[in-house]
Amino acid sequence: MNRGTTKGALKRAAADARIRKGVSIHSRRQRHATHLVEAGLNLRGIQDQLGHASPTTTARIVAFDPVTEQVTFE
């Protein structure tokens, strides 16, 4: 499945569900990461789930502060 196919399927599903707010692949991945944090998964586990090579990428998505080790949501 390529990006265009996935994007089209997501848009159709949103339309079928009468979701009017903008829906994107990025927003779904970000929300998925948020759910993983809420479920108690640590940053490394989320990195593995999302397939990121760098924990920095994951930290940006979930707004992880390595100094305080706190997670905030963008």
Residue with tokens 């080790």, as numbered in its chain: 69
Quote the pLDDT of residue 16. Answer: 92
- Give the number of domains in the chain: 1
Decide: 5 and 25 in contact? Cβ < 8 Å. no
pTM over 0.85: no
What tokens appear for 18 in the block? 């009468």
What pLDDT does 29 receive? 83
pLDDT in tens, the chain (74 residues): 677 788 888 889 888 999 888 788 888 888 888 888 878 888 888 889 889 998 888 877 776 555 656 665 55
* Domain boundaries, position 63: 3-71
pLDDT of residue 60: 79
Q: Which DSSP string do the residues of 8-70 spell out, in sequence order?
A: HHHHHHHHHTT--S---HHHHHHHHHHHHHHTT--HHHHHHHHT-S-HHHHHHHHTEETTTTE
